Chains A and B, each alone.
Chain A
């Protein structure tokens, strides 16, 4: 029986590996090669394309990959800290959408919940075309199974002003309300975000201003929480260059009101670093590779390997010199592909909290 289970799980993993190759943020290094494959037949991001809303909140089936990615830093009434992740990935085996089982779209949901003691994660998979998973732009609703990230009645869908977010695992679940009155933030050149020196790019915007409020449930115990949440939207067809093996990604909220999105794509050389500084007034500054430095510090055993769980980020232009440390070192997403994703604390020139994702190690 054990043998059968092993075969079955291998079978699943094998299939997933191929599907997930294109899910940039979640694959291991060897699988990441797929992200560099050419985008024949698929649409590619265009510099200067003006993103339109609410349409662009919806799916772009002509692009190979896409995601709706929410991370939330939360705390209960006793001040205990928590992290929550809600992600829906879309991957197209070929461009376009069709009704029924012949749809080339594959969907994958990941949900994570981090406490000071433990990390919970779970995964859902679905085919497009039958209604099990999908995203509609107006009213906005991203769903897979009973998980949803969707507009509440009366929400301003241009900025996604009021969303409900829920997911369920075997021994945990969460149900949060996300609200904001702030505009969207566009990364790179008006949402055209370059990912390598060879010009690979994606369309990338965020709604980093959410206030979050709701309930977590862990092993049947309910916990009321409040905090902040950050939504990332990204789609592309070839976001990685062939020599890039994985990435480290940060979303940081500072106590003084500034925010920082930063990523480091690793390759055999120095890697490619980029990010967006968001001032307290809401102005977005694209950071070029020479304006930001991201350096791994202490490592720890996590996800079956050694991972740099502490980091140093510096920028002379911003007068920034900060160190990050995780709420919990073992924040592994034990999904078909292992990766690290969890809440972090920030100290140094700026103080605050945020989220870190490490893939492809």
Chain B
């Protein structure tokens, strides 16, 4: 009996394969986007953790208070004072066309636990720090570096993505400077060491390195992805909902027959539940595979974005984790049950001999509509509440979600009212039938329309946001990249020599000083502005005191970027605490697109005076546009600089724009996918609709209406 019923119920799919495909596809797509996004997030987080543990980011450090580099003498003095500290240098470095993060460590003093590298299998450990040294890289980077000239490569999976770990001496000679970025501290320190302030007041101890902040910085990015994944899941569920309803509707007669021959409603619903579960598992499997495909297609873009935006290293490679399968099946079953629960519930309460069809549905729809409207109002109210009370990104997303879902749920009400009004105003029987019929379709159609509305709203929102970002960014680039040539001399000494050399040969030399500093306790930096028309004319100031550039040049005031000003409610005239006890006034706020960190712009002379050891290895050159190419070649030849060290404005803008476009590749892709899912939901819904309306069409045909008219 049960088997026979099962056969009868399942035979439906044989007769309607398209429906089955729609259902499985809907569930798989919902599962796929969600698992794909989760996989990307998990992979990225794993990379952050690895980078942190491989480079001792969880250990305390000693750094210069002004953010400048430490010297070998600093290191020796710290050791002489009894501290167990190890020098580390970390910098961006190009090996041919490949950009890597170069990390130099000192193996003999490196604290235990500072690295997970298994340097044990080195046959000759002296080879690590005796020239030419060794490059420790992961397999992926090793493959990329194969054709480049490097010290012998050692491969270890423990090395973070895109990172070269080598001896500090080797790293320093490659970087052309004997700088030390920080001293990494052992977890346990002798008790009677001399406090830093007694012998090196310019140094300070910090809990951990800034790289631990990477996961904090990237949190918002991952939250974005998660929100997209969730949206796709919800939209996918609409498809599933439509397909399941259709399948249940079409089998109503079968169910009645089965019930009539004696199968209990309970057993029938169990059979249907099992059917749903089976379909869910099948879809889950397809979904996880699809999710993997999506994740691996998107991951390189995500990795590039994360690297470009936050300097976070993500491998760009994906492992197939068994926990995904579980999560994929779980979410697929959850989705199927969520979408099918209403149909199941209705089926349970189905009177065995009821002939009621669309009209009965519609009655329940009017009841549902009331509930739905109440829910929508509640959601909109919570959105308003969140607007007033919520802070932070998560609250922002919750607000958006509540607003979107509230609006979507509210959608059937005006539709229902409009069709009702139409029906009332209709003068001809055909028009009246049209309005009544349209109204009858609302229960089914509104679901798909709600899905489409959600996807469209998101699409338009994201599209507008990206294009307005692009516009602002392009404008910003024009203002910010005012110098025609930018030179990276590699070291401060070299930069100074080149600058005095070039003085007179160009219209202006604009030294660029930069210091990493804690601003309001968070990592940020202080950069210099030369007293030159370039800055006065071009710098994108949002809000500024009168004669702001004179104030900055005099050293009595600084500018802050918009991010810093907004985060800490800074106002003009207020003072700001900078390293080294400097407390200048804030004379203006400027826009600083894409920078997640706070930034302070200070006068060049003030920077020279306050932070003499600051990095100033780069500088800008103003020169007539027609001389740019020739001058670039001339400088490259004269100072034996690689092409990557001297960039003209046009290519820099192009690079920046490329980085920008890359940033939104993932957003764009998810946007399109979501819209596709919503379109699909509408299609599924209309298909279901049209099959349900077949009897009506037949009836109207009999009444004399041609199918085409």
Contact = CB atoms under 8 A, between A and B. Distances in A.
Contact of B76 (A11, A94, A104, A130): A130
Contact of A100 (B121, B126, B169): B169
Contact of A132 (B79, B121, B169): B79
Interface in A1-53: 4-5, 7-15, 18-19
A336 to B, nearest CB: 10
Contacts of B112: 5, 8-9, 12
B80 A145 contact: yes
B134 to A, nearest CB: 12
A261 interface: no
Interface centre among A4, A94, A169 (most CB of B within 10 A): A4
A184 interface: no
Contacts of A125: 108-109
A11 to B, nearest CB: 4
A11 B120 CA distance: 4
A12 B110 CA distance: 9
Interface in B42-81: 53, 72-73, 75-76, 79-81
A248 to B, nearest CB: 29
A12 B173 CA distance: 24
B594 interface: no
Interface stretch (B185-193, B465-473, B477-485): B185-193
B145 interface: no
A220 interface: yes
Given A8-B113, A126-B108, A130-B72, A18 B190 contact: no
B82 A168 contact: yes
Interface string A102-121: 10101000000000000000
B73 A7 contact: no
Nearest to A14: B120
Interface string A213-231: 0000100100000000000
Given A8-B115, A126-B108, A169-B190, A18 B76 contact: no
B108 A94 contact: no
B125 A146 contact: no
Contacts of A220: 191
Nearest to B58: A1
A242 to B, nearest CB: 20
Contacts of A169: 190
Interface string A234-263: 000000000000000000000000000000
A131 B72 contact: yes
A146 B81 contact: yes
Given A19-B126, A101-B167, A127 B115 contact: no
A168 B192 contact: yes
A312 B405 CA distance: 91
A268 to B, nearest CB: 27
A10 B130 contact: no
B172 A15 contact: no
A344 to B, nearest CB: 29
A170 interface: yes
B192 to A, nearest CB: 6
A19 B125 contact: yes
Interface centre among B53, B75, B79, B106 (most CB of A within 10 A): B79
Contacts of B109: 125-126, 132
A303 interface: no
B119 interface: yes
B122 interface: yes
B118 A11 contact: yes
A169 B186 CA distance: 13
Contacts of B248: none
Contacts of A145: 79-80, 82
A143 B77 CA distance: 12
A207 to B, nearest CB: 25
Contact of A102 (B75, B79, B113, B169): B169
B188 A146 contact: no
Contact of B122 (A15, A101, A217): A15
A101 B169 contact: yes
B168 A101 contact: yes
Contacts of B115: 8, 11
B342 to A, nearest CB: 49
A101 B82 contact: no
A360 B126 CA distance: 23
A87 interface: no
Interface in B97-120: 106-110, 112-120
B124 A146 contact: no
Nearest to A91: B126
A43 B575 CA distance: 65
B128 interface: yes
Contacts of A170: 188-191
Contacts of A93: 126, 130
A211 interface: no
Given A4-B116, A15-B119, A168-B82, A102 B108 contact: no
A173 interface: yes
Interface centre among B108, B116, B167 (most CB of A within 10 A): B108
A7 B551 CA distance: 56
Interface of A: 4-5, 7-15, 18-19, 93-94, 100-102, 104, 106, 125-127, 130-132, 143, 145-146, 168-171, 173, 217, 220
30 contacts: A4-B116, A5-B112, A5-B113, A8-B112, A8-B115, A8-B116, A10-B118, A11-B115, A11-B117, A11-B118, A15-B119, A15-B122, A18-B126, A100-B72, A100-B169, A102-B173, A106-B108, A125-B108, A127-B169, A130-B75, A132-B79, A132-B109, A143-B80, A145-B79, A145-B82, A168-B192, A169-B190, A170-B188, A170-B190, A170-B191
Which 10 A-B residue pairings sit nearest by Cβ, starting from the closest? A101-B169, A14-B120, A15-B125, A125-B108, A11-B119, A146-B82, A93-B126, A131-B76, A145-B79, A18-B125
